[in-house]
């Protein structure tokens, strides 16, 4: 179902093209659209729509001055790889767009997991599950917390924990040493 609905969702790149603001809104409609209460789009359909929207959006972009993510931060992250000497000015621009797509794809997949377990909060385990289900996300396995699989054996208590003890969940979800440890391996990471 291809429906455009009025919405306030608009990205910097779409400022001059409200039609794509609607198109972007369409991405979230399948999950809440009242016109389709009995059936929601499958994850595959959502992703197909998402990628079609990305291609259309890329064609229509006119504002390259505003990015969803700061280029300076992207440069710093790129430069954590000591082997990288120089990067062209276009490289962080392309990464800004790529990371936006990455965040969105990961969010779509994770939210599908949230819905599958009848949850209302997109949580870390939804992300861990989405990553384990997606081949192109294999490179993320090393930085995923190992204990994230544990809550799946006791959904009820986990739900309570999320609702009643968010600070504790924060503590449990702070593996900040792990990414740092993992970075040296990145330089020699072989593709699957």
Partner 1 sequence: MAGVREQDQYMPIANVIRIMRRILPAHAKISDDAKETIQECVSEYISFITAEANERCQREQRKTVTAEDVLWAMEKLGFDNYAHPLSLYLHRYRKTEGEPASARRASASASPSMQMHPRTHPHSHPPNYSHHGFGMFDFDPSSQGFYRDDASSSGSGGFVASFDPYANIKRDPL
For the packed helices 124-132 and 90-116, what is the interaxial angle rounded to 10 degrees?
Answer: 100
Residue 2 or 188: the one with the smaller Cβ distance to partner 1 is 188
Binding flag, residue 5, partner 1 (CB under 8 A) = no
Residue 62 beta carbon to partner 1: minimum distance, rounded to whole angstroms:
7
Tokens describing residue 139: 């490179």
Indicate which single residue of 3, 75, 147, 150 sits in contact with partner 1 (rule: CB under 8 A). 75
Indicate which single residue of 35, 90, 118, 164 sits in contact with partner 1 (rule: CB under 8 A). 90
Residue 2 or 176: the one with the smaller Cβ distance to partner 1 is 176
Residue 97 beta carbon to partner 1: minimum distance, rounded to whole angstroms:
5
* Cα 172 to Cα 160: distance, rounded to the nearest angstrom: 15
Tokens describing residue 90: 């276009």
* Cα 191 to Cα 20: distance, rounded to the nearest angstrom: 35
Contacts of 76 (CB under 8 A, 6+ apart): none
Determine phi and psi for 70, rounding to 5 degrees: -70, 130
Binding flag, residue 23, partner 1 (CB under 8 A) = no
Question: In a 3-state reduction of DSSP, which class is residue 106?
Answer: helix
Residue 70 beta carbon to partner 1: minimum distance, rounded to whole angstroms:
7
Which 105-134 positions form the footprint of partner 1 (CB under 8 A)?
105-108, 110-111, 114, 120-124, 126-128, 131
Indicate which single residue of 79, 149, 150, 155 sits in contact with partner 1 (rule: CB under 8 A). 79
Contacts of 129 (CB under 8 A, 6+ apart): 110, 113, 152
Binding flag, residue 36, partner 1 (CB under 8 A) = no
* Cα 162 to Cα 144: distance, rounded to the nearest angstrom: 19
* Cα 160 to Cα 183: distance, rounded to the nearest angstrom: 34
Which 137-166 positions form the footprint of partner 1 (CB under 8 A)?
139-140, 143-145, 162, 166
Question: In a 3-state reduction of DSSP, which class is residue 115?
Answer: helix
Residue 67 beta carbon to partner 1: minimum distance, rounded to whole angstroms:
5
Binding flag, residue 80, partner 1 (CB under 8 A) = yes
Binding flag, residue 77, partner 1 (CB under 8 A) = yes
Indicate which single residue of 6, 34, 59, 146 sits in contact with partner 1 (rule: CB under 8 A). 59
């Amino acid at each position: 179902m291809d429906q455009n609905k009025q919405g306030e969702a608009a990205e910097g790149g779409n400022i001059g093209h409200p039609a794509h603001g609607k198109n972007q809104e369409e991405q979230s409609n399948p999950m809440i659209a009242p016109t389709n209460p009995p059936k929601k789009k499958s994850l595959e359909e959502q992703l197909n729509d998402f990628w079609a929207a990305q291609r259309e959006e890329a064609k229509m972009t006119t504002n390259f001055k505003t990015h969803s993510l700061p280029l300076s931060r992207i440069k710093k992250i790129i430069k954590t790889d000591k082997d990288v000497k120089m990067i062209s000015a276009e490289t962080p621009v392309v990464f800004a767009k790529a990371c936006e797509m990455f965040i969105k794809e990961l969010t779509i997949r994770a939210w599908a997991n949230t819905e599958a377990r009848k949850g209302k909060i997109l949580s870390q385990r939804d992300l861990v599950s989405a990553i384990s289900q997606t081949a192109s996300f294999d490179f993320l396995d090393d930085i995923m917390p190992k204990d994230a699989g544990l809550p799946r054996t006791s959904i009820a208590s986990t739900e309570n924990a999320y609702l009643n003890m968010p600070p504790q969940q924060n503590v449990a979800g702070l593996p900040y040493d792990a990414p740092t440890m993992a970075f040296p391996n990145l330089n020699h990471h072989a593709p699957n």
